[in-house]
Structure 1
Protein backbone atom coordinates (compact mmCIF):
# COMPACT_ATOMS: atom_id res chain seq x y z
CA UNK A 1 0.00 0.00 0.00
CA UNK A 2 1.32 3.43 -0.87
CA UNK A 3 1.83 5.48 2.30
CA UNK A 4 -0.11 8.71 2.85
CA UNK A 5 2.62 9.79 5.27
CA UNK A 6 5.35 12.25 4.35
CA UNK A 7 7.93 14.23 6.31
CA UNK A 8 6.84 17.73 7.33
CA UNK A 9 7.46 19.85 10.44
CA UNK A 10 4.93 21.32 12.83
CA UNK A 11 2.19 19.93 15.03
CA UNK A 12 0.03 16.87 14.54
CA UNK A 13 -2.96 15.00 15.94
CA UNK A 14 -2.93 11.22 15.61
CA UNK A 15 -6.34 10.57 17.14
CA UNK A 16 -9.43 12.32 15.78
CA UNK A 17 -12.90 11.00 14.99
CA UNK A 18 -15.29 11.73 12.13
CA UNK A 19 -19.03 11.25 11.80
CA UNK A 20 -18.25 7.90 10.16
CA UNK A 21 -18.10 6.61 13.73
CA UNK A 22 -18.97 8.84 16.69
CA UNK A 23 -17.58 12.24 15.73
CA UNK A 24 -19.55 15.35 14.80
CA UNK A 25 -17.58 16.46 11.71
CA UNK A 26 -17.29 14.85 8.29
CA UNK A 27 -13.86 13.54 7.24
CA UNK A 28 -13.40 16.51 4.89
CA UNK A 29 -14.41 18.96 7.64
CA UNK A 30 -11.77 17.43 9.92
CA UNK A 31 -9.16 18.11 7.26
CA UNK A 32 -10.37 21.70 6.95
CA UNK A 33 -10.15 22.12 10.72
CA UNK A 34 -6.63 20.68 10.72
CA UNK A 35 -5.67 23.21 8.04
CA UNK A 36 -7.17 26.07 10.05
CA UNK A 37 -5.18 24.99 13.10
CA UNK A 38 -2.02 24.64 11.00
CA UNK A 39 -1.54 20.96 11.76
CA UNK A 40 0.75 19.08 9.39
CA UNK A 41 -0.53 15.52 9.93
CA UNK A 42 -3.71 13.94 11.26
CA UNK A 43 -4.96 10.41 11.70
CA UNK A 44 -8.71 9.88 11.54
CA UNK A 45 -8.96 6.88 13.85
CA UNK A 46 -12.65 6.01 13.80
CA UNK A 47 -14.04 3.26 15.98
CA UNK A 48 -14.00 -0.03 14.06
CA UNK A 49 -14.30 1.91 10.79
CA UNK A 50 -11.92 2.92 8.01
CA UNK A 51 -14.50 4.59 5.75
CA UNK A 52 -13.19 8.07 6.55
CA UNK A 53 -9.72 7.36 5.14
CA UNK A 54 -10.96 7.33 1.55
CA UNK A 55 -13.45 10.15 2.15
CA UNK A 56 -10.77 12.48 3.53
CA UNK A 57 -7.93 11.60 1.14
CA UNK A 58 -8.74 14.02 -1.70
CA UNK A 59 -9.38 16.97 0.60
CA UNK A 60 -6.13 16.22 2.47
CA UNK A 61 -4.15 16.39 -0.78
CA UNK A 62 -5.81 19.67 -1.77
CA UNK A 63 -5.15 21.22 1.65
CA UNK A 64 -1.62 19.90 2.02
CA UNK A 65 -2.51 17.93 5.13
CA UNK A 66 -0.89 14.55 5.59
CA UNK A 67 -3.39 11.80 6.33
CA UNK A 68 -2.26 8.66 8.12
CA UNK A 69 -4.54 5.63 7.64
CA UNK A 70 -5.78 4.62 11.08
CA UNK A 71 -8.46 2.78 13.01
CA UNK A 72 -9.43 2.45 16.67
CA UNK A 73 -10.50 -1.05 17.67
CA UNK A 74 -12.64 -1.80 20.71
CA UNK A 75 -10.76 -4.62 22.42
CA UNK A 76 -11.13 -6.98 25.38
CA UNK A 77 -8.09 -8.12 27.33
CA UNK A 78 -8.91 -10.60 30.07
CA UNK A 79 -11.46 -8.97 32.35
CA UNK A 80 -10.74 -5.55 30.83
CA UNK A 81 -13.44 -4.52 28.37
CA UNK A 82 -13.52 -1.60 25.95
CA UNK A 83 -9.77 -1.18 25.80
CA UNK A 84 -9.02 1.03 22.80
CA UNK A 85 -6.29 -0.06 20.42
CA UNK A 86 -5.11 2.26 17.64
CA UNK A 87 -3.80 0.83 14.39
CA UNK A 88 -1.64 3.20 12.32
CA UNK A 89 -0.61 2.76 8.70
CA UNK A 90 -2.99 -0.18 8.23
CA UNK A 91 -3.93 -1.33 4.75
CA UNK A 92 -7.46 0.05 4.73
CA UNK A 93 -8.17 -1.62 1.37
CA UNK A 94 -7.82 -5.16 2.76
CA UNK A 95 -11.02 -7.06 1.93
CA UNK A 96 -10.98 -9.39 4.94
CA UNK A 97 -10.48 -6.48 7.34
CA UNK A 98 -13.28 -4.52 5.71
CA UNK A 99 -15.59 -7.54 6.04
CA UNK A 100 -14.82 -7.92 9.74
CA UNK A 101 -15.36 -4.21 10.37
CA UNK A 102 -18.67 -4.40 8.51
CA UNK A 103 -19.84 -7.08 10.94
CA UNK A 104 -18.88 -4.81 13.84
CA UNK A 105 -20.74 -1.96 12.19
CA UNK A 106 -23.92 -4.02 11.85
CA UNK A 107 -23.75 -4.93 15.53
CA UNK A 108 -23.10 -1.28 16.42
CA UNK A 109 -26.15 -0.16 14.45
CA UNK A 110 -28.35 -2.67 16.27
CA UNK A 111 -26.82 -1.66 19.61
CA UNK A 112 -27.44 2.04 19.09
CA UNK A 113 -30.98 1.45 17.88
CA UNK A 114 -31.65 -0.59 21.03
CA UNK A 115 -30.21 2.21 23.18
CA UNK A 116 -32.34 4.80 21.40
CA UNK A 117 -35.45 2.68 22.03
CA UNK A 118 -34.59 2.50 25.74
CA UNK A 119 -33.95 6.24 25.88
CA UNK A 120 -37.30 6.89 24.19
CA UNK A 121 -39.04 4.80 26.86
CA UNK A 122 -37.33 6.97 29.45
CA UNK A 123 -38.47 10.12 27.64
CA UNK A 124 -42.07 8.87 27.49
CA UNK A 125 -41.93 8.24 31.24
CA UNK A 126 -40.76 11.86 31.65
CA UNK A 127 -43.66 13.12 29.50
CA UNK A 128 -41.37 14.16 26.65
CA UNK A 129 -41.51 13.61 22.89
CA UNK A 130 -39.47 10.70 21.61
CA UNK A 131 -36.50 11.00 19.23
CA UNK A 132 -36.77 9.40 15.79
CA UNK A 133 -33.89 7.38 14.35
CA UNK A 134 -33.72 9.72 11.35
CA UNK A 135 -33.11 12.62 13.72
CA UNK A 136 -30.02 10.85 15.08
CA UNK A 137 -28.89 9.73 11.63
CA UNK A 138 -28.83 13.36 10.48
CA UNK A 139 -25.72 13.80 12.66
CA UNK A 140 -23.96 10.64 11.42
CA UNK A 141 -21.96 10.02 8.27
CA UNK A 142 -21.72 6.22 8.29
CA UNK A 143 -23.18 4.63 11.42
CA UNK A 144 -24.67 6.23 14.50
CA UNK A 145 -22.71 6.40 17.74
CA UNK A 146 -23.64 7.45 21.24
CA UNK A 147 -22.41 11.05 20.72
CA UNK A 148 -24.86 11.36 17.82
CA UNK A 149 -27.70 10.42 20.19
CA UNK A 150 -26.27 12.91 22.68
CA UNK A 151 -26.42 15.65 20.05
CA UNK A 152 -30.09 14.87 19.39
CA UNK A 153 -30.80 15.07 23.13
CA UNK A 154 -29.00 18.40 23.31
CA UNK A 155 -30.90 19.85 20.34
CA UNK A 156 -34.19 18.87 21.97
CA UNK A 157 -33.13 20.58 25.19
CA UNK A 158 -33.35 17.30 27.10
CA UNK A 159 -29.78 17.66 28.41
CA UNK A 160 -27.49 20.58 29.24
CA UNK A 161 -24.27 19.09 27.87
CA UNK A 162 -22.79 15.95 26.34
CA UNK A 163 -21.77 14.82 29.82
CA UNK A 164 -25.32 15.42 31.06
CA UNK A 165 -26.70 13.39 28.12
CA UNK A 166 -24.51 10.44 29.09
CA UNK A 167 -25.26 10.73 32.81
CA UNK A 168 -29.03 10.96 32.44
CA UNK A 169 -29.71 8.81 29.39
CA UNK A 170 -26.87 7.06 27.55
CA UNK A 171 -25.11 5.42 30.48
CA UNK A 172 -28.29 4.10 32.17
CA UNK A 173 -29.52 2.83 28.77
CA UNK A 174 -26.22 1.30 27.67
CA UNK A 175 -26.16 -1.94 25.65
CA UNK A 176 -22.97 -4.09 25.71
CA UNK A 177 -20.54 -3.83 22.79
CA UNK A 178 -18.79 -6.49 20.76
CA UNK A 179 -15.03 -6.57 21.30
CA UNK A 180 -11.96 -7.84 19.49
CA UNK A 181 -9.86 -10.18 21.67
CA UNK A 182 -6.52 -8.43 22.24
CA UNK A 183 -4.73 -11.62 21.21
CA UNK A 184 -6.33 -11.24 17.75
CA UNK A 185 -6.37 -7.46 17.40
CA UNK A 186 -2.62 -6.86 17.73
CA UNK A 187 -1.67 -9.55 15.14
CA UNK A 188 -4.40 -8.28 12.80
CA UNK A 189 -2.94 -4.76 12.82
CA UNK A 190 0.49 -6.26 12.16
CA UNK A 191 -0.92 -8.37 9.29
CA UNK A 192 -2.25 -5.17 7.74
CA UNK A 193 1.24 -3.67 7.79
CA UNK A 194 0.36 -1.33 10.65
CA UNK A 195 1.59 -0.60 14.15
CA UNK A 196 -0.52 -1.02 17.28
CA UNK A 197 -0.74 1.71 19.92
CA UNK A 198 -2.66 1.65 23.18
CA UNK A 199 -4.98 4.68 23.28
CA UNK A 200 -5.26 6.93 26.37
CA UNK A 201 -3.73 4.32 28.71
CA UNK A 202 -4.94 5.88 31.95
CA UNK A 203 -8.52 5.04 30.94
CA UNK A 204 -7.56 1.45 31.84
CA UNK A 205 -6.12 2.26 35.26
CA UNK A 206 -4.79 5.29 37.10
CA UNK A 207 -2.68 3.04 39.31
CA UNK A 208 0.61 3.53 37.48
CA UNK A 209 2.18 0.31 38.74
CA UNK A 210 -0.84 -1.75 37.67
CA UNK A 211 -1.09 0.10 34.37
CA UNK A 212 2.56 -0.53 33.55
CA UNK A 213 2.13 -4.23 34.38
CA UNK A 214 -0.69 -4.42 31.82
CA UNK A 215 1.28 -2.46 29.21
CA UNK A 216 4.25 -4.80 29.70
CA UNK A 217 1.99 -7.80 29.09
CA UNK A 218 0.63 -6.18 25.93
CA UNK A 219 4.18 -5.39 24.78
CA UNK A 220 4.96 -9.11 25.04
CA UNK A 221 1.92 -9.75 22.84
CA UNK A 222 3.37 -7.41 20.19
CA UNK A 223 2.07 -3.95 21.16
CA UNK A 224 4.17 -1.32 19.38
CA UNK A 225 3.47 1.82 21.38
CA UNK A 226 1.33 3.87 23.72
CA UNK A 227 -0.51 7.16 23.33
CA UNK A 228 1.54 8.99 25.95
CA UNK A 229 0.25 12.49 25.15
CA UNK A 230 -3.55 12.71 25.32
CA UNK A 231 -6.54 14.42 26.88
CA UNK A 232 -7.12 12.05 29.79
CA UNK A 233 -3.75 11.77 31.54
CA UNK A 234 -2.40 14.29 34.02
CA UNK A 235 1.01 15.86 33.37
CA UNK A 236 2.79 13.61 35.87
CA UNK A 237 1.13 10.52 34.40
CA UNK A 238 2.22 11.49 30.88
CA UNK A 239 5.77 12.00 32.14
CA UNK A 240 5.73 8.58 33.82
CA UNK A 241 4.46 6.94 30.65
CA UNK A 242 6.97 8.80 28.48
CA UNK A 243 9.89 7.68 30.61
CA UNK A 244 8.81 4.07 30.86
CA UNK A 245 7.91 3.81 27.16
CA UNK A 246 11.32 5.09 26.11
CA UNK A 247 13.03 2.64 28.46
CA UNK A 248 10.97 -0.25 27.05
CA UNK A 249 11.44 0.70 23.41
CA UNK A 250 7.76 1.44 22.87
CA UNK A 251 6.64 4.08 20.39
CA UNK A 252 5.22 7.33 21.77
CA UNK A 253 2.24 8.98 20.07
CA UNK A 254 -0.09 11.87 20.83
CA UNK A 255 -3.70 12.62 20.05
CA UNK A 256 -6.64 14.63 21.30
CA UNK A 257 -9.37 11.98 20.78
CA UNK A 258 -11.29 14.87 19.22
CA UNK A 259 -14.96 14.24 18.46
CA UNK A 260 -16.02 17.83 17.77
CA UNK A 261 -18.68 17.83 20.45
CA UNK A 262 -16.90 17.92 23.82
CA UNK A 263 -16.82 21.32 25.48
CA UNK A 264 -13.36 22.85 25.62
CA UNK A 265 -11.69 20.18 23.52
CA UNK A 266 -9.64 21.21 20.48
CA UNK A 267 -8.04 19.22 17.72
CA UNK A 268 -4.26 19.16 18.06
CA UNK A 269 -4.21 19.77 21.82
CA UNK A 270 -4.21 17.57 24.89
CA UNK A 271 -4.76 18.16 28.58
CA UNK A 272 -3.37 21.47 29.75
CA UNK A 273 -3.18 22.76 26.17
CA UNK A 274 -0.15 20.63 25.26
CA UNK A 275 0.53 20.24 21.54
CA UNK A 276 1.65 17.10 19.77
CA UNK A 277 4.99 17.55 18.05
CA UNK A 278 5.62 16.24 14.54
CA UNK A 279 8.85 14.80 15.96
CA UNK A 280 6.71 11.89 17.17
CA UNK A 281 6.26 10.82 13.55
CA UNK A 282 9.82 9.75 12.67
CA UNK A 283 9.96 6.65 14.93
CA UNK A 284 6.42 5.72 13.89
CA UNK A 285 7.31 5.96 10.20
CA UNK A 286 10.47 3.94 10.74
CA UNK A 287 8.50 1.14 12.40
CA UNK A 288 5.96 1.20 9.56
CA UNK A 289 8.75 1.02 6.98
CA UNK A 290 10.26 -1.99 8.76
CA UNK A 291 6.87 -3.69 8.84
CA UNK A 292 6.32 -3.21 5.12
CA UNK A 293 9.66 -4.87 4.36
CA UNK A 294 8.71 -8.08 6.13
Structure 2
Protein backbone atom coordinates (compact mmCIF):
# COMPACT_ATOMS: atom_id res chain seq x y z
CA UNK A 1 0.00 0.00 0.00
CA UNK A 2 1.14 3.54 -0.76
CA UNK A 3 1.34 5.56 2.44
CA UNK A 4 1.48 9.29 1.92
CA UNK A 5 1.59 11.80 4.77
CA UNK A 6 -1.63 13.77 5.11
CA UNK A 7 -1.59 17.16 3.47
CA UNK A 8 -1.28 19.98 6.05
CA UNK A 9 -4.46 22.00 6.39
CA UNK A 10 -2.67 25.25 5.56
CA UNK A 11 -0.93 23.89 2.46
CA UNK A 12 -2.28 25.04 -0.94
CA UNK A 13 -4.69 22.54 -2.49
CA UNK A 14 -3.82 21.73 -6.11
CA UNK A 15 -5.70 19.61 -8.69
CA UNK A 16 -3.78 19.22 -11.96
CA UNK A 17 -6.36 17.37 -14.09
CA UNK A 18 -9.74 18.90 -14.98
CA UNK A 19 -12.05 19.14 -17.99
CA UNK A 20 -14.80 21.40 -19.30
CA UNK A 21 -17.27 21.24 -22.15
CA UNK A 22 -14.52 22.57 -24.43
CA UNK A 23 -13.83 18.83 -24.71
CA UNK A 24 -15.86 16.20 -22.87
CA UNK A 25 -16.78 17.80 -19.55
CA UNK A 26 -20.26 19.02 -18.73
CA UNK A 27 -19.45 22.47 -17.31
CA UNK A 28 -18.18 25.71 -18.78
CA UNK A 29 -14.75 27.01 -17.78
CA UNK A 30 -16.48 29.61 -15.61
CA UNK A 31 -18.47 26.89 -13.85
CA UNK A 32 -15.38 24.72 -13.36
CA UNK A 33 -13.36 27.49 -11.72
CA UNK A 34 -16.32 28.48 -9.54
CA UNK A 35 -16.66 24.84 -8.47
CA UNK A 36 -12.95 24.72 -7.68
CA UNK A 37 -13.30 27.78 -5.45
CA UNK A 38 -16.24 26.20 -3.62
CA UNK A 39 -14.21 23.01 -3.16
CA UNK A 40 -11.48 25.00 -1.43
CA UNK A 41 -8.89 24.54 -4.16
CA UNK A 42 -6.15 27.11 -4.65
CA UNK A 43 -4.91 25.92 -8.07
CA UNK A 44 -6.25 23.77 -10.88
CA UNK A 45 -4.88 22.81 -14.28
CA UNK A 46 -7.33 23.13 -17.17
CA UNK A 47 -6.54 20.10 -19.32
CA UNK A 48 -9.22 19.66 -21.96
CA UNK A 49 -8.55 17.04 -24.63
CA UNK A 50 -6.45 18.27 -27.56
CA UNK A 51 -7.56 21.90 -27.30
CA UNK A 52 -6.67 25.25 -25.74
CA UNK A 53 -10.17 26.62 -26.40
CA UNK A 54 -10.89 27.36 -22.74
CA UNK A 55 -7.74 29.27 -21.89
CA UNK A 56 -9.05 32.79 -22.49
CA UNK A 57 -12.17 32.21 -20.44
CA UNK A 58 -9.99 30.66 -17.72
CA UNK A 59 -8.06 33.92 -17.32
CA UNK A 60 -11.28 35.81 -16.62
CA UNK A 61 -12.63 33.09 -14.32
CA UNK A 62 -9.41 32.93 -12.31
CA UNK A 63 -9.68 36.65 -11.58
CA UNK A 64 -13.35 36.37 -10.61
CA UNK A 65 -13.06 33.38 -8.30
CA UNK A 66 -9.58 33.68 -6.80
CA UNK A 67 -8.28 30.36 -8.13
CA UNK A 68 -4.98 30.00 -9.98
CA UNK A 69 -5.33 28.16 -13.30
CA UNK A 70 -2.46 26.36 -15.01
CA UNK A 71 -3.18 26.34 -18.78
CA UNK A 72 -2.82 22.81 -20.04
CA UNK A 73 -4.00 20.16 -22.50
CA UNK A 74 -4.62 16.43 -22.26
CA UNK A 75 -2.94 15.22 -25.42
CA UNK A 76 -4.19 12.03 -27.06
CA UNK A 77 -1.68 9.40 -28.13
CA UNK A 78 -1.89 5.73 -29.01
CA UNK A 79 0.38 2.72 -28.60
CA UNK A 80 -0.91 -0.41 -30.26
CA UNK A 81 -4.35 -1.00 -28.74
CA UNK A 82 -3.62 1.31 -25.81
CA UNK A 83 -5.05 4.82 -25.64
CA UNK A 84 -2.38 6.93 -23.94
CA UNK A 85 -3.01 10.41 -22.55
CA UNK A 86 -0.32 12.94 -21.71
CA UNK A 87 -0.94 16.11 -19.71
CA UNK A 88 0.82 19.11 -21.26
CA UNK A 89 1.24 21.95 -18.78
CA UNK A 90 2.04 25.49 -19.99
CA UNK A 91 2.78 24.68 -23.67
CA UNK A 92 2.90 27.37 -26.35
CA UNK A 93 -0.68 27.60 -27.71
CA UNK A 94 0.27 28.95 -31.14
CA UNK A 95 -0.81 27.03 -34.22
CA UNK A 96 2.65 26.76 -35.78
CA UNK A 97 3.99 24.15 -33.34
CA UNK A 98 4.17 20.44 -34.04
CA UNK A 99 1.97 19.94 -30.98
CA UNK A 100 -0.78 22.09 -32.49
CA UNK A 101 -0.52 20.25 -35.81
CA UNK A 102 -0.71 16.86 -34.09
CA UNK A 103 -3.80 17.92 -32.13
CA UNK A 104 -5.53 19.35 -35.19
CA UNK A 105 -4.99 16.11 -37.09
CA UNK A 106 -6.25 14.08 -34.11
CA UNK A 107 -9.40 16.22 -33.75
CA UNK A 108 -10.24 15.87 -37.43
CA UNK A 109 -9.69 12.12 -37.34
CA UNK A 110 -11.72 11.77 -34.13
CA UNK A 111 -14.74 13.50 -35.64
CA UNK A 112 -14.80 11.17 -38.64
CA UNK A 113 -14.28 8.20 -36.34
CA UNK A 114 -17.21 9.21 -34.14
CA UNK A 115 -19.54 9.32 -37.12
CA UNK A 116 -18.45 5.87 -38.24
CA UNK A 117 -18.92 4.44 -34.74
CA UNK A 118 -22.44 5.85 -34.56
CA UNK A 119 -23.20 4.30 -37.95
CA UNK A 120 -22.08 0.91 -36.65
CA UNK A 121 -23.98 1.25 -33.39
CA UNK A 122 -27.13 2.29 -35.25
CA UNK A 123 -27.20 -1.06 -37.02
CA UNK A 124 -28.02 -2.73 -33.69
CA UNK A 125 -29.21 0.03 -31.35
CA UNK A 126 -31.69 2.94 -31.57
CA UNK A 127 -29.16 5.77 -31.75
CA UNK A 128 -28.56 8.51 -34.33
CA UNK A 129 -25.93 11.15 -35.01
CA UNK A 130 -28.48 13.75 -33.90
CA UNK A 131 -28.67 12.01 -30.51
CA UNK A 132 -24.91 12.35 -30.15
CA UNK A 133 -24.80 15.95 -31.40
CA UNK A 134 -27.36 16.85 -28.73
CA UNK A 135 -24.80 15.87 -26.07
CA UNK A 136 -22.15 18.29 -27.35
CA UNK A 137 -22.24 21.52 -25.35
CA UNK A 138 -19.44 23.53 -26.99
CA UNK A 139 -19.79 24.84 -30.55
CA UNK A 140 -16.19 23.95 -31.45
CA UNK A 141 -16.05 20.75 -29.41
CA UNK A 142 -14.78 17.66 -31.18
CA UNK A 143 -17.20 14.78 -30.79
CA UNK A 144 -15.69 11.77 -29.06
CA UNK A 145 -16.59 8.56 -27.30
CA UNK A 146 -17.82 10.38 -24.15
CA UNK A 147 -20.51 12.13 -26.19
CA UNK A 148 -21.54 8.85 -27.81
CA UNK A 149 -21.65 7.33 -24.32
CA UNK A 150 -23.91 10.12 -23.09
CA UNK A 151 -26.24 9.57 -26.04
CA UNK A 152 -26.38 5.85 -25.24
CA UNK A 153 -27.26 6.73 -21.64
CA UNK A 154 -29.94 9.21 -22.76
CA UNK A 155 -31.47 6.52 -24.96
CA UNK A 156 -31.48 4.04 -22.06
CA UNK A 157 -29.17 1.65 -23.90
CA UNK A 158 -26.61 1.67 -21.07
CA UNK A 159 -26.94 2.93 -17.47
CA UNK A 160 -23.94 5.26 -17.44
CA UNK A 161 -20.72 6.31 -19.20
CA UNK A 162 -18.66 3.64 -17.46
CA UNK A 163 -20.90 0.88 -18.77
CA UNK A 164 -20.69 2.31 -22.29
CA UNK A 165 -16.89 2.41 -22.21
CA UNK A 166 -16.53 -1.06 -20.77
CA UNK A 167 -18.78 -2.66 -23.38
CA UNK A 168 -20.10 -0.97 -26.51
CA UNK A 169 -17.32 1.63 -26.85
CA UNK A 170 -14.35 -0.44 -25.71
CA UNK A 171 -11.43 -1.05 -28.12
CA UNK A 172 -12.42 -4.72 -28.28
CA UNK A 173 -15.98 -3.92 -29.36
CA UNK A 174 -17.15 -4.52 -32.93
CA UNK A 175 -18.36 -0.91 -32.94
CA UNK A 176 -14.95 0.56 -32.16
CA UNK A 177 -13.14 2.56 -34.84
CA UNK A 178 -9.54 3.68 -34.56
CA UNK A 179 -8.50 7.28 -35.12
CA UNK A 180 -5.23 9.05 -35.69
CA UNK A 181 -3.13 9.85 -32.64
CA UNK A 182 0.65 10.18 -32.39
CA UNK A 183 2.65 7.58 -30.53
CA UNK A 184 3.31 8.57 -26.89
CA UNK A 185 6.99 9.41 -27.33
CA UNK A 186 6.16 11.70 -30.26
CA UNK A 187 3.47 13.39 -28.15
CA UNK A 188 5.94 13.98 -25.33
CA UNK A 189 8.56 15.40 -27.71
CA UNK A 190 5.94 17.71 -29.24
CA UNK A 191 4.93 18.98 -25.80
CA UNK A 192 8.53 19.64 -24.79
CA UNK A 193 9.30 21.32 -28.13
CA UNK A 194 6.32 23.62 -27.49
CA UNK A 195 7.87 24.61 -24.17
CA UNK A 196 5.46 22.57 -22.09
CA UNK A 197 5.90 20.00 -19.35
CA UNK A 198 4.71 16.44 -20.03
CA UNK A 199 3.06 14.25 -17.39
CA UNK A 200 1.66 10.79 -18.16
CA UNK A 201 -2.06 10.84 -17.25
CA UNK A 202 -3.52 7.89 -15.26
CA UNK A 203 -0.80 5.51 -16.53
CA UNK A 204 -1.87 2.70 -14.22
CA UNK A 205 -5.57 2.70 -15.03
CA UNK A 206 -7.05 -0.78 -15.21
CA UNK A 207 -10.55 0.46 -16.03
CA UNK A 208 -9.70 1.95 -19.42
CA UNK A 209 -7.53 0.18 -21.97
CA UNK A 210 -5.01 -1.16 -19.44
CA UNK A 211 -2.01 0.15 -17.56
CA UNK A 212 1.00 1.35 -19.52
CA UNK A 213 3.93 -1.09 -19.71
CA UNK A 214 7.22 0.06 -18.20
CA UNK A 215 9.10 -0.15 -21.49
CA UNK A 216 6.65 2.34 -23.00
CA UNK A 217 7.02 4.64 -19.99
CA UNK A 218 10.79 4.44 -20.41
CA UNK A 219 10.45 5.52 -24.05
CA UNK A 220 8.40 8.47 -22.85
CA UNK A 221 11.04 9.31 -20.24
CA UNK A 222 13.72 9.28 -22.94
CA UNK A 223 11.52 11.67 -24.96
CA UNK A 224 11.37 14.16 -22.08
CA UNK A 225 8.56 13.02 -19.76
CA UNK A 226 8.70 15.01 -16.52
CA UNK A 227 6.14 13.28 -14.34
CA UNK A 228 3.58 10.57 -13.66
CA UNK A 229 0.05 11.11 -12.42
CA UNK A 230 0.37 8.62 -9.58
CA UNK A 231 -2.67 9.65 -7.55
CA UNK A 232 -5.81 9.07 -9.61
CA UNK A 233 -9.09 7.35 -8.74
CA UNK A 234 -8.48 4.64 -11.35
CA UNK A 235 -5.25 3.54 -9.62
CA UNK A 236 -5.47 1.00 -6.84
CA UNK A 237 -2.82 0.79 -4.11
CA UNK A 238 -0.74 -1.70 -6.08
CA UNK A 239 -0.70 0.58 -9.14
CA UNK A 240 0.20 3.63 -7.05
CA UNK A 241 3.07 1.77 -5.39
CA UNK A 242 4.39 0.55 -8.75
CA UNK A 243 4.15 3.98 -10.36
CA UNK A 244 5.67 5.74 -7.37
CA UNK A 245 8.64 3.35 -7.44
CA UNK A 246 9.05 3.89 -11.19
CA UNK A 247 8.93 7.66 -10.74
CA UNK A 248 11.57 7.61 -8.01
CA UNK A 249 13.88 5.36 -10.01
CA UNK A 250 13.60 7.56 -13.10
CA UNK A 251 13.70 10.97 -11.47
CA UNK A 252 10.09 11.81 -12.32
CA UNK A 253 7.74 14.06 -10.39
CA UNK A 254 4.62 12.48 -8.87
CA UNK A 255 1.35 14.34 -9.42
CA UNK A 256 -2.28 13.85 -8.49
CA UNK A 257 -5.48 14.99 -10.13
CA UNK A 258 -9.20 14.40 -10.06
CA UNK A 259 -9.77 14.04 -13.82
CA UNK A 260 -12.94 16.02 -13.12
CA UNK A 261 -15.58 16.07 -15.88
CA UNK A 262 -18.53 17.59 -14.04
CA UNK A 263 -21.64 15.40 -14.19
CA UNK A 264 -20.02 13.15 -16.81
CA UNK A 265 -18.11 11.11 -14.23
CA UNK A 266 -18.24 10.47 -10.48
CA UNK A 267 -14.81 12.12 -10.03
CA UNK A 268 -14.85 15.02 -7.57
CA UNK A 269 -12.63 18.07 -7.66
CA UNK A 270 -9.63 17.77 -5.36
CA UNK A 271 -10.12 14.09 -4.57
CA UNK A 272 -6.49 13.54 -5.63
CA UNK A 273 -4.05 16.41 -5.39
CA UNK A 274 -0.49 17.53 -6.15
CA UNK A 275 1.86 18.89 -3.51
CA UNK A 276 2.96 22.52 -3.92
CA UNK A 277 6.66 21.61 -4.20
CA UNK A 278 5.87 19.27 -7.09
CA UNK A 279 3.89 21.94 -8.92
CA UNK A 280 6.73 24.42 -8.42
CA UNK A 281 9.20 21.91 -9.88
CA UNK A 282 6.93 21.29 -12.86
CA UNK A 283 6.53 25.00 -13.57
CA UNK A 284 10.29 25.53 -13.41
CA UNK A 285 10.69 23.07 -16.30
CA UNK A 286 8.36 24.96 -18.65
CA UNK A 287 10.19 27.01 -21.28
CA UNK A 288 7.28 28.63 -23.13
CA UNK A 289 5.91 32.11 -22.49
CA UNK A 290 2.63 30.69 -21.27
CA UNK A 291 2.00 31.76 -17.69
CA UNK A 292 -0.11 30.52 -14.82
CA UNK A 293 -3.36 32.49 -14.73
CA UNK A 294 -3.41 34.23 -11.36
CA UNK A 295 -6.36 35.91 -9.63
TM-score bucket of the superposed structures, by smaller chain: 0.7 to 0.9
Q: Distance in 1 between matches of 2:162 and 2:134?
A: 20
Give the match for residue 256 of structure 1: 258
Give the match for residue 69 of structure 2: 67
**Structure 1 residues 99, 263: CA separation in 2 closer, same or farther (over 3 Å shift)?**
closer
Instruction: Determine which of 37, 40, 43 is the counterpart of 2:39.
Output: 37
Shift of 1:227: 0.9
Quote the RMSD (CA, aligned, Å): 2.6
- After the TM superposition, which parts of structure 1 deviate over 6 Å for at least 4 consecutive aligned residues? none
- For 1:221-257, what per-residue CA distance to the aligned partner results, in whole angstroms no more than 9, with x for missing partners? 2211111111221124323422442343212211122
Shift of 1:195: 1.0
**Which range moves more in the overlay, 55-64 or 134-143?**
134-143
TM-score between the two structures when normalised by the length of structure 2: 0.81
Q: Distance in 2 between matches of 1:205 and 1:157?
A: 27
Give the match for residue 83 of structure 1: 84
Mapping 1:177-196, distance limit 5 Å: 177-196=179-198
**Structure 1 residues 135, 12: CA separation in 2 closer, same or farther (over 3 Å shift)?**
same
Q: Does 1 or 2 have the higher relative contact order (CA < 8 Å, sep 6+)?
A: 2
Q: Distance in 1 between matches of 2:197 and 2:78?
A: 18
Give the match for residue 93 of structure 1: 94
Q: Distance in 2 between matches of 1:155 and 1:80?
A: 28
Match of 2:108, SS? Answer: helix
Matched-pair contact (CA < 8 Å) for 2:117–2:177: yes
Mapping 1:1-294, distance limit 5 Å: 9-77=11-79, 79=80, 81-96=82-97, 97-123=99-125, 128=126, 130-133=127-130, 136-141=133-138, 142-171=141-170, 172=173, 173-203=175-205, 211-261=213-263, 264-270=266-272, 275-288=273-286, 291-292=287-288
Shift of 1:112: 1.0
Q: Distance in 2 between matches of 1:195 and 1:94?
A: 18
**Structure 1 residues 157, 80: CA separation in 2 closer, same or farther (over 3 Å shift)?**
closer
Query: Any unmatched runs of 5+ in structure 2?
Result: 1-9, 290-295
Matched-pair contact (CA < 8 Å) for 1:94–1:192: no
Q: Distance in 1 between matches of 2:34 and 2:169?
A: 30
**Structure 1 residues 181, 215: CA separation in 2 closer, same or farther (over 3 Å shift)?**
closer
Matched-pair contact (CA < 8 Å) for 1:140–1:148: no
TM-score between the two structures when normalised by the length of structure 1: 0.81
- For 1:147-176, what per-residue CA distance to the aligned partner results, in whole angstroms no more than 9, with x for missing partners? 122222222222212222334533332110
Query: Any unmatched runs of 5+ in structure 1?
Result: 1-7
Task: Give the number of aligned pairs.
Answer: 271
